[in-house]
Structure 1
Amino acid sequence: MKVMILGMGHAGKAIAQRLRASGHQIVGTTTTPGKVEELQSLADEVAVLKGSETDKVIAAAQGCDAIIATVAPNVKNTRTKEERESQYHEVLEKSLASAAKACDRVIFLSSFSVYGDGGLGTDPITEETPTSNHEEPSSKYYQAAERNALSVKGGCVLRLPDIHGAPGDMTFTQRVKLAHDYFGGKALFGADAPLYTIHFEDVVNAAVHALENDLTGIYNVCDNDNLPPTNQQIFDAICDKEGWSRLEFLNQIKAPNRKISADKLYATGYRVQHEDPNAALLEA
């Protein structure tokens, strides 16, 4: 199978490496010419393009059986709503519009942010739970990108929580420091939402699982057996441990307020392998 990886960040590179080792032919993409040489060890072909450059995406995807889109905005360029409006529209909606025009099999790594706070009720959030928070760019444009991915007959959306554990990735302690250094000690999300996280290797497993099992439609990807602590519980514990002032939660980016069900994906044979890295903070 010939597969394009649209966006060769940590997850994209690991997906490419896994698929290539299984005998698949890989076309990788990057926006940075200086990264081509590095990526040539992971992909059979490397194209320099932006996902929004539809003609280039179509040309690079010639002969591909599937596109796996792992594109995501740079968090340092998303401090204000205006910055998020520009970044998320460009990186998410436009990239997935290009992918849908280039191939009829598209797997998109999306986000739990599409649920907003999950709405009213106490039942677990499922793939059937209505999306919300339609004005916040970080939610609105993930939803738009999902619609683009699902517009093709082989469209598959994997909704993910915060990703951690990639080589060189920031720890949660470093993320809190980033909030102090770049956001003035403020967190854009709400205090009471469970802090769902997923190890990047579990993300890789999910993408490969979706490809090899011809999954279509929408799937939540998370630990289906455990409800994590809240944002405030975790980040307060980190701040207290480091001697930092606690963060102020602005609740601008809504996050699901209760358990999220991954029953649908687990029914296909997928399982999360890595435990929540933050659970030990509250056990100390």
Structure 2
Amino acid sequence: MHAMILGAGYSGKAIAHALQAHIPQISGTTRSPDKAEQLEKLGIKPFVFNGEELSETLRDAFSNVTHLIQSIAPNDAGDPLLRLIGDAQLQSLMPKLQWVCYLSTVGVYGDHGGEWVNEDTACRPVSVRSVQRVAAEDAWMAQTKTSGIPLSILRLSGIYGPGRNVFRNLENGTARRLVKKDQVFNRIRVEDIGTACTLLLTRKADGIFNVTDSEPCPPQDVVTYAAQLMGVEPPPEQDFETAELTAMARSFYGENKRVSNRRLQDMGFHFRYPDYRKSLLQMWEDKVWQD
């Protein structure tokens, strides 16, 4: 078996780590040759892919791929791999392919006024990037339906974990406690993404799955709790309406919903980090938040 991770970044590396006990050969792509050595140290065979062309080396690797994890974000031109395939089927590039995983986002649901959503909820994307994700999801569903290959779409909430978390933000002075009435977010620990992907791979699951924690909450609560663990004063609360924010940062607050993970749990998946308190406490006590 050979798993290929297109876009072996933060989430992709966590997936590779989780898969290493199940898949003997794991490869991953990176845009920069400078990052190839890092992937190799993690047991991931590196390939350079800029999203614009497929090298002969990468095409040769694809010929033996049995499991594909696509983590590269789409753009206005669509999904980078499907754009390069064109009207051809996946098997023309990966004749041994058995299963595909597409990493998407809960942003595809759009704004639901703080109400609960699940995988059957209609998508009402607000931001351009979420509109692109919906289009990419549809394209992958069409491609795999034609090819007869099972597809798992993982809709991820806000990703955090070692090296990328609120402790780091407090340490470098970028943490903010923005307060918007009734605003909540879900989030997901990166290691849980890896183990969820592994479960779905072993089941050759077909469908859409929300990979998200079990406790949507106001974002300022997370900052307050992390500051308490660090023994530092949290930053002052700021009113969202009057705070200076980039357009992208402000757009995140335009979507308010509670995302259910019941479908994944019903498959027997157990979140190691079901809420932010358990997760942050583990990172702080085990001293893994910096790396």
Per the TM superposition, whether the score is higher than 0.5 is yes
TM-aligned CA distance change 1:155 to 1:254, over 3 Å: farther
Confirm or deny: 8 A CA contact 2:14 2:193 kept in the other structure: no
Alpha carbons of structure 1 residues 234 and 26: separation in structure 2 relative to 1, 3 Å = closer
Match of 2:219 in 1: 231
In structure 1, the residue corresponding to 2:259 is in which secondary structure?
coil
Residues matched between the structures, number: 254
Amino acid at match of 1:62: S
TM-score by length of 2: 0.72
2:166 match? 171
What residue in structure 2 maps to residue 242 of structure 1?
Answer: 234
Question: Are 1:94 and 2:74 counterparts?
Answer: no
1:1-284 map, 5 Å: 1-43=1-43, 45-54=45-54, 58-72=59-73, 88-89=74-75, 93-95=79-81, 97=83, 101=90, 102-103=93-94, 105-118=99-112, 122=115, 124-134=116-126, 136-151=127-142, 152=144, 153-166=149-162, 168-171=163-166, 174=169, 177-178=173-174, 192-224=182-214, 227-231=215-219, 233-234=221-222, 241-244=233-236, 246=238, 248=240, 251-253=250-252, 257-277=256-276
> Structure 1 residues 96, 214: CA separation in 2 closer, same or farther (over 3 Å shift)?
same
Structure 1 residue ranges without an equivalent (≥5): 73-87
- Structure 1 window deviating more from structure 2 (201-210 vs 254-263): it is 254-263
Q: Percent identical across equivalent pairs? A: 29
Query: Do the aligned partners of 1:133 and 1:254 also contact (CA within 8 Å) in 2?
Result: no
SS class of match (1:193): coil
Find the aligned partners of 2:196 and 2:272 in 1 and give their Cα distance.
Answer: 11
- Alpha-carbon deviations, 1:79-101, whole Å to 9, x = none? xxxxxxxxx51797324655884
Deviation at 1:63, TM superposition (A): 1.6
CA contact (8 A) 1:71 1:92 kept: no
Q: 1:131 to 1:261 in 2, by over 3 A?
A: same
**Cα displacement (A) at 1:59:** 4.6
* Separation in structure 1 between the aligned mates of residue 175 and residue 106 of structure 2, nearest angstrom: 20
Amino acid corresponding to residue 270 of structure 1 in structure 2? F
Instruction: Tell which structure's C-alpha radius of gyration is larger.
Output: 2
Q: In 1, are the aligned partners of 2:166 and 2:175 still within 8 Å (CA)?
A: no
Q: Residue 216 of structure 2 aligns to which amino acid in structure 1?
A: P
- Where structure 2 has 5 or more consecutive residues not aligned to the other structure, the ranges are 281-291
Per-residue deviation, 1:228: 2.6
Structure 1 residue 216: deviation in Å? 1.0
TM-score by length of 1: 0.73
Report the aligned-residue RMSD: 3.6
Structure 1 position 29, deviation (Å): 0.8
Higher mean displacement: 204-213 or 46-55: 46-55
Distance 1:204 1:271 in 2: 12
Q: 1:43 to 1:154 in 2, by over 3 A?
A: farther
CA contact (8 A) 2:40 2:46 kept: yes
CA shift at 1:235, angstroms? 5.6
The alignment partner of 1:158 has SS state of: strand
Mark the CA change 1:198 to 1:157 in structure 2 (over 3 Å): closer, same or farther: same
Instruction: Tell me the SS of whatever aligns to 2:213.
Output: coil
Distance 1:195 1:60, change over 3 A: same
